[in-house]
Structure 1
Amino acid sequence: MQFSMLVIETKNKLKEVLSKLDDNLSLGLVPTMGALHKGHASLIQKAVNENDRVVVSIFVNPTQFNNKEDLDKYPKTLESDIKLISSISKDIFVFTPAVSEIYTDSVVPKIYDFEGLDKVMEGEFRDDHFNGVGTIVEELLTIIKPTKAYFGEKDFQQLRIIQKLTEIQHIPVEIIGCEIIREDHGLAMSSRNERLSKKIRQKAAFIYKTLQTAKNKFGMENALNVKDWVINEFQKNDEFELEYFDITDVETLTPINNKINNVKYRAFIAVYVEDVRLIDNIALN
């Protein structure tokens, strides 16, 4: 049976469309804030490969921005986003709600207890960010009721928090983490990359190269030495401002000083360049 891609703007219409699907069909969800790139395309392609039908949401969620200027500057490219989605498959529902459709009373996030996952790294520098993420993701999962939902590992802390969200809210969905897609020189793909000058975008490969070297050092040195080395590297490079670098336990996201056998670790970084905030991370073992 052939379907054509449907763009839906309201929750009621989306519920109506999804209610007509066979209950035995698997449904994939890819939540996005638009300004889609190859990283998003890889998530959508994976969802299409693994499910009978797919919903891609495009919603710039105001409650996960702690900086209004960052919200105002976030690129909005709906026409090209729909074109990209259509190039992957036309058998996709695209959900593009207005803010008033999601936040019917007031634009404020719910408050969650993420058991400390939200208190480090991004949570330390972005007040209420993960409450905003949790609010919109819970809303989407509740409306759409997908079999699987797909999130990129570039936002690995967010991925862990969404896994925790489904656990504490008892939401029956499988959360799928997908590998980071990088530009040819190594910079993690991000909608914010478009705001960088061409010259700096190339130089931003420095971030990933630093992570790769940190990974190599982590095999031979303790975490504090690796962290000191990273801080020193950024102090020598005045074009990039390091906000944080942390090595954490993958499960708890607790920053560590010393390694423990049979525990998985990951390094996380946030950097400012040309007033654009970039984040990245790398598995260490």
Structure 2
Amino acid sequence: MKVKKSALLLTLSLLLASCSSQEEVVAPELPSVPSNCADTKVLESILPRIADAKYIETEWEPAEGTDLYAAYNAGGIACTYGLQEAEVGATILWAPDNKILFSELTPNWIGFGQKEIDLPGIEEEAAYYLSEGIEGQGEYHIWSVNLLINGSWIQVGATFFNSLEDAIPVIKAAIDSLRTPKRAEREKITGCYLAELPNDLYVFNVHYHDNNTISADFYYKNINSEPSKGLFLGTYTNGIARGFYSLPTSNGTSERELFLKGDKNGFVTASAKLEKVGSIEKYVRPLDIKWSQEIKFIPAQECEGLLRG
């Protein structure tokens, strides 16, 4: 890979400047988005308005081009709270901005009629909201608010905001639900997990976990066959790692969907009907998953030797 001369000179000058400085400048650590909907502070903020509100477990299937897809693709999470039978509640999206996501989505929001706003009592970098009607003149609703704060994009959408004052407590709870760097570090599932059966060996080695994005090496060996190794890419939310792992085949590469439920103490695998479309095997929708106790992944110390083959 070629490096531009100007870029190289800039890098060298920055290094020299840092060496001559007495104090090392360290960028502040940013909080992480929530990983589990049941652990946020949002439900508590909704209960004064919806007395019997609950966390509504939802199997999201984001369509490309939507805010939901953008949030999950960036390592975010979506959570709904309210009364499902009454169709009243709020859905919150959290996603790491990565210095680009919010600005990329802003033109779409403006195109759909969202307007910029300065949220009272909140130190956001930017915010937009979608409303219907004229406040103080008949029916008025605020449908959603998008804000950028502490390196995260947060979207708060609800059916019961009749004023900005109604929305502020929920917005503040969504902000307070961001995880501190220390907490996010404690909750990471990075590490090696091993499942041994009489004739089979499985290895799930998570080497990257940032916000809710994970990647892992996946290894399988049957006693009567050659081992297969692949790369798993996916997310870890609500205690479930879900994504696809790729495996080399004689015809190229195949992909298979994989769900694992657990935490850094171990995982169990999903059992569900699969369908194959081209080279991709995935669980049949709507999902009908049972968690198998047959294959249990437990923390292991040494996986590198197996993964190197």
**TM-score past 0.5 threshold:** no
Question: What is the TM-score with the length of structure 2 in the denominator?
Answer: 0.28
More helix by share: 1
More RCO (CA 8 Å, sep 6+): 1
